[in-house]
Amino acid sequence: MTNVKALRGRDFITLMDYTTEEVKYLLGLSRDFKSRYYQGDRYSDALRGRTLLMIFEKPSTRTRVSLDVAATQLGMHVIYSNPQELQLGRGETIADTARVVDRFVDAIAARVYKHESLVEMARYAVAPVINALSDQEHPLQALADALTLWEVKGRLDGLRVAFVGDGDNNIAHSLMVIGAKLGWEVRIISPRKYWPTKFMESLTEDLRRTGANIIISDNTEDARGVDAVYTDVWVSMGMEAEAEERRKIFRPYQVNSELMRVAGPQAIFMHCLPAHRGEEVTDDVIDGPQSVVWDQAENRLHTSKAVLISLLT
């Protein structure tokens, strides 16, 4: 069992930097936090006197609120800012900003357009840097996804998950990473233009070590028999200029009642939210009995607590 002190001071930029045992530790701690939450132990002084700075280049609901509430319930003070409220908005470099705020705060959570911005921030800040979403990965979401699957399916091993839609986006990448760590079969079902072929190269060692399998297909029939069908928006933030083209390309990959029928009655439906209803998913699926999207959203709180407590104690 991984000791929590082994994670102290680490950055949380990508789950590729974490071992299978460390990922399982974070998930077990998340489950413990959730259990205590419903038993009435909602507040703790474990991180009293610590400060979390959140820098968000993009809008956010679940990530911003879950991190804020998690930090507050652990006793932290939270500062929220966008780059325009900092000197970043007037041309100060990421390196200089990181050097300065590192003298004031205990952790930095950043939602950025470019993954390289997180890497740069971590290079110059001693305080842990937490990826609150980048164009490459969303590891906080991946932890909540795995916790949800564990709760619903009763296991973490041997899971089969189909991601349908844009196979080369940050959510698909993160699902591939955590699947590689935990030995899952992840099926990326996407138009060929959006296959994550290059990203797969970074997962070779984990796939070999855990026996995980990543299947890439352009055929929605390959969702048959999975434990979960996962999708995300077709037009992510920053891609608005491609909106119409993407809607046409991805239309055959909509998660609707027919696709869920192909997947089977055992398949749950997952979405990181926000959902563009009527595009990547229909109302009857996201609001239907196979949907676990609200559990996924709630689990962002408990996994955020696990990450904060592990990096800061």
Residues tagged active-site:
111, 138, 141, 232, 272, 300
For residue 253 the two structure tokens come to: 């990959």
CA distance 172 to 186: 9
* Contact by Cβ (8 Å): 107, 50: yes
CA distance 54 to 82: 8
* Contact by Cβ (8 Å): 169, 49: no
For residue 202 the two structure tokens come to: 């970074």
* Contact by Cβ (8 Å): 73, 47: no
Start-to-end Cα distance in the chain: 17
Pairing assessment for the beta strands 185-189 and 213-217 based on DSSP bridges = parallel
Residue carrying structure tokens 């969702």: 223
CA distance 143 to 303: 6
Neighbour count for residue 85 (Cβ, 10 Å): 11
Torsions phi, psi for 52 (to 5 deg) = -110, 125
